[in-house]
Structure 1
Amino acid sequence: MTQTRTTRLERGRGALGPALELVHTGRAPTRAVLTAELGVTRATAGAVAAELEALGLIQVDARPAASAGSQGRPSHRLSIAPNGPVVLAAQIHADGFRAALVGLGGRVIATAPGCMTVPADPSRIIDAVVEAGAGLLRETGRRCLGAGLAVPSAVAEPEGTALNPLHLSWPVGAPVRTLFNEALAKSGVLGPDGTPVTGVTGNDVNLTALAEHRHGAGRGARHLLCVATGHRGVGGALVLDGRLHSGSSGLAMEVGHLTVNPTGQPCHCGSRGCLDVECDPLAFLTAAGREPGPAVSLLQQSRDLLRTEYADPSVRAAADLLIDRLGLGLAGLVNILNPDRVVLGGLHRELLDADPERLRAVVAERSLWGRSGSVPILPCSLEFNSLIGAAEAAWQPVLDDPLAMVG
């Protein structure tokens, strides 16, 4: 490294993390954009980009082709290094698990699904999903810089315990973060320094919101509300100015326990008529008069029913019922939180696709001053958003200080 470049890099060292995040989220496709976004000189931006490339994190194309009709020399193009490091992402849900390797930019490199009855001992399924991820690392030979786990429960901070795994048979307060790190060590998932990587854990819908905000339908939103139903239950999350709002101890946004039907079904939380039991896949199948089968997940059964039998009056009536309940819950959340965008995942995405005008009309009818009803309501756009969100949590230390974590 030349003395001039060393001097420029020293001046721009504090910009390494912000620069990597800009490339990671697709907001700095060229060095010219990076220079403007960071507010540094062109030379400093060049030194920062070169250092990130030397760390194996990004790729700099110094000779990009000029677009037709353009004038002048095109700026260096910046992209994620195609063979760069990855993080191990894992998700546990009511019907099993999925492991993946995820690179920067939210790119899923490889996945390994696993179906099993989730045992009462959380260590067994955590060991299984980590071993599946370790197998992917062995197959691909990729460098691993971290690991993230998404679970269908509120995760208390700073302990990393699952406080309400309502749709699993786990004990309340299961130490999922400790078990995750123990599994990573047992499976030999090592970082660049040869020691086991440190794992992070989070609620699956919180991580979905983070992924959609950085790489999906929530990009560009300042205040993003995410509501989703997975295999069972309903969850919500809020991203404020790019950061998850998780409350004082990680337990914020338990929107599944908003009451939308006071005389409705008993909820696992002890209340009655909550979104969690009135607007999830089991509620939809029950309202449609369908008996849930064991062959595939409740979420997949609900999706298939909506896509193939929506013309059936009983299915259409069940969809309308759930849309009305979901709209009631969304209206209350929108009135309280005033987001500038709402994204819906899981079965809620399918309900939005089935009748978008009905859902928006319910929200608008119950909105304050008529303005809250104009908030955009969009479907989540990422296929593996909880996994990508788990990866985002694992990538965060690298985004904060690339040199310390990789160099």
Structure 2
Amino acid sequence: MSGDAAPGAAGEGNTRTRLDRGRGALGPALELVHTGRAPTRAVLTAELGVTRATAGAVAAELEALGLIRVDARPGAAAGSQGRPSHRLELAEDGPVALAAQVHADGFRAALVGLGGRLVATAPGCETVDADPAKVLRSVVEAGAELLRETGRRCVGAGVAVPSAVAEPEGTALNPLHLAWPAGAPVREIFAECVRAAGITGPAFAANDVNLAALAEHRHGAGRGARDLLCVATGHRGVGGALVLDGRLHTGSSGLALEVGHLTVSPEGRACHCGSRGCLDVEADPLAFLTAAGRDPGPEVSLLQQANELIRDHRADPGVRTAVETLIDRLGQGLAGLVNILNPDRIILGGLHRTLLDADPERLRAVVADRSLWGRSGGVPILACTLDHNSLVGAAELAWQPVLDDPITALTHT
């Protein structure tokens, strides 16, 4: 640099140097804002362990990429002490991910921004064809229409399916509650549909409960947990997921935590897996309706029928007995998982969330009575808090490359 460089150029150079030093912090910084852990630049500075100047340069770069907004004037949060700091917020008009979910009673597409915010959703379809390509093509077309309507930039796409999904190939090994063939190459088909629709960015596929756990850990009831167990029943069957040390645990090939096939009633119903009395068939909506002596109707989903029965007819003796029966079955399964996994928090979704709300003390007592860890102090059992958490989790798959390396990911989409 020559000795007569303009002061403005020198200041610009210093800013660029700070940004170069902090470029590796762009992804971690974005993740902190994305998960709500860095509401101000001061918090960002402390969390990243960098200088205020470097944090400022990193925040400015993320703002230039259209991902966050930095308040022009620093302000102090209510009740806080010390120097005011610039607030950091996610850009309301920023990019989105296309998220899709397929389940036994239909499928849905949505656009999801940073922070797990649902920007737009398409009307759900209640018919799932036996051909996965036809279903995935329809859901991607619905997502593409949302992108056209909103004019948003898309960073990628993710789909949640009710099946164990093998990694890295993305095949649905056991879509038991769909008419899809075992081993369907869901990720490959989904990616082809995304490309055919002219949508940029990578495409991903994963198990729906794994994605629900990921979303809840980042944005919902699991936030702050280190070892988080999620168990949920949606429209059919029971699924589970585990976050270990802040990361989703999928096992050696994506098949970990098939909790639906824990036996809770050895003489119970025959399960699709070949065993009997598994959680999958003893603690899902169909099992509840059967225990309550109700014939499932075709007009609405099994999950909706079961939830409405508990909420609107809890005083009915048959419904009350069915609630107790399923709570005991669920509690027995959770106790076994607690003994094996020792999580610091359990979150429940779908019908299990409704059962927890109906009688939280009974469920916690069953888990405590049947688990060693429960007897030593108990494990917090909470309800999932995000609506459409599997959709949000599917979007997290698409957002992950951006969180890892914002500049590279956005340059290539």
Instruction: Give me the TM-score of the superposition, normalised by structure 1.
Output: 0.96
Change (3 A) 1:42 1:208: same
The residue type equivalent to 2:88 in the other structure is L
Q: Distance in 2 between matches of 1:126 and 1:142?
A: 21
1:145 to 2:174 alignment? no
Cα-Cα RMSD:
1.3
- Is the counterpart of residue 84 in structure 1 residue 94 in structure 2? yes
Distance across 2 between alignment mates of 1:96 and 1:199: 20
The residue aligned with 1:398 is 402
Look up the match of 2:67.
Answer: 57
User: Would you say 1:200 and 2:204 are equivalent positions?
Assistant: yes
Of 361-370 and 299-308, the range deviating more from structure 2: 361-370
Matched, 1:227 2:231: yes
SS of aligned partner of 1:238: strand
> Which residue is equivalent to 1:311?
315
| Per-residue Cα deviation, 1:192-228 (whole angstroms, up to 9, x for no partner) | xxxxx21011000000000000000000000000000
CA offsets 1:349-380 (integer angstroms, 9 cap, x no match): 00000000000000000111644661100000
Distance 1:70 1:342 in 2: 32
Identity %: 78
Structure 2 Cα separation of the partners of residues 232 and 38 of structure 1: 43
Deviation of the 1:64 alpha carbon: 4.0
| Whole-Å separation in 2 of the counterparts to 1:237 and 1:167 | 18
Q: Within 5 Å, which residues of 2 pair with 1:8-407? A: 8-67=18-77, 73-190=83-200, 197-368=201-372, 370-371=374-375, 374-407=378-411
Tell me, which stretches of 5 or more residues in structure 1 are unaligned?
A: 191-196
Instruction: Give yes or no for contact 2:103–2:235 (8 Å, CA) kept in 1.
Output: yes
Alpha-carbon distance in 2 for matches of 1:223, 1:69: 32
Question: What is the DSSP-based 3-state SS (H/G/I as helix, E as strand, rest coil) of the residue aligned with 1:201?
Answer: strand
Whether contact under 8 Å (1:343, 1:379) holds in the other structure is: yes
Distance 1:370 1:405, change over 3 A: closer
Distance 1:255 1:69, change over 3 A: closer
Aligned to 1:194: none
Distance 1:67 1:376, change over 3 A: closer
The alpha-carbon distance between structure 1 residues 340 and 68, as it changes in their structure 2 partners (threshold 3 A), is closer
Distance in 1 (CA, whole Å) between partners of 2:20 and 2:379 is 44
Q: CA deviation at 1:65?
A: 4.0
Moved more, 393-402 or 60-69: 60-69
- Separation in 2, partners of 1:348, 1:136: 32
Q: Distance in 2 between matches of 1:392 and 1:139?
A: 22
Measured after TM superposition, the shift of residue 70 of structure 1 is 5.8
Partners of 1:68 and 1:377 lie apart in 2 by 31
Equivalent AA in structure 2 for residue 17 of structure 1: G
Shift of 1:73: 4.4
CA contact (8 A) 1:114 1:129 kept: no
- The higher radius of gyration belongs to 2
Distance (Å, rounded) in 1 between the aligned partners of 2:362 and 2:79: 46
The 8 Å contact of residues 75 and 85 in structure 2, kept in 1 or not, is answered as: no
- Is contact 2:75–2:86 with CA below 8 Å preserved after alignment? no
SS, match of residue 225 in structure 1: strand
- C-alpha distance in structure 1 between counterparts of 2:376 and 2:136, whole Å: 41
- Residues 1:256 and 1:38: Cα distance change in structure 2 (over 3 Å): same
Q: 1:70 to 1:377 in 2, by over 3 A?
A: closer
Task: Kindly provide the CA deviation profile for residues 260-309 of structure 1, in whole angstroms up to 9, marking residues without a partner as x.
Answer: 00000000111100000000000000100111011110000001000000
Distance 1:162 1:69 in 2: 51
Contact (CA 8 Å) 1:96, 1:115: kept in 2 or not?
Answer: yes
- In 2, Cα distance between the equivalents of 1:69 and 1:367? 42
Structure 1 CA distance, aligned partners of 2:294 and 2:72? 59
Query: 1:89 touches 1:387 (CA, 8 Å); kept in 2?
Result: yes
- Figure out how many residues of one structure are paired with residues of the other and give that number: 401
Quote the Cα distance in structure 1 between the aligned partners of 2:77 and 2:300: 48
Runs of 5+ unmatched residues, structure 2: 1-8
SS in 2 for 1:374: coil
- How far, CA to CA, are the matches of 1:68 and 1:27 in structure 2? 17
Residue 66 of structure 1: CA displacement?
3.9
SS of corresponding position for 2:242: strand
Instruction: Give the direction of change, closer, same or farther, for the CA distance of 1:344–1:3 in structure 2 (3 Å limit).
Output: same
